[in-house]
Amino acid sequence: MLPGPFPIGRIDVDTAVEAIRGENAAGRHWAEVSFSAETAVEVAAGTCLVAYHADARWNDQPTAEAVDCLTVYVKREGRWRVAAHQQTGNP
């Protein structure tokens, strides 16, 4: 649920971090977040797929946004790191 507009497709880490810093500078933050339908599957040693539904509302929004998310984590040097993240909004 990064602020847009972003092109459809992949954004790199620098773009994501810049967007988050911009939200912080503007005083925006999550006022409400709830997760449901969480599923985690280890697809290979050191690789885990996490799928979930999220309803989240920024502090300046009257209603929450709904998204379905899928994140792939890989374990590198003893730490879990995000390898890929995808989210689809629900109208």
The conformation of residue 37, written as its DSSP 8-state character, comes to E
- CA dist 18 and 23 (Å) reads 9
Length of the chain: 91
* Confidence (pTM): 0.74
Residue 74, token pair as written in the block: 């890989």
- Identify which of 11, 25, 32, 21 has the alpha carbon closest to the alpha carbon of residue 84: 11
For the chain, what is the largest distance between any 2 Cα atoms, rounded to a whole number of angstroms?
42
Instruction: Tell me the per-residue pLDDT of 7-54, one tens digit each, with 9 for 90 and over.
Output: 556 778 888 889 889 989 999 998 999 999 999 999 999 999 999 999
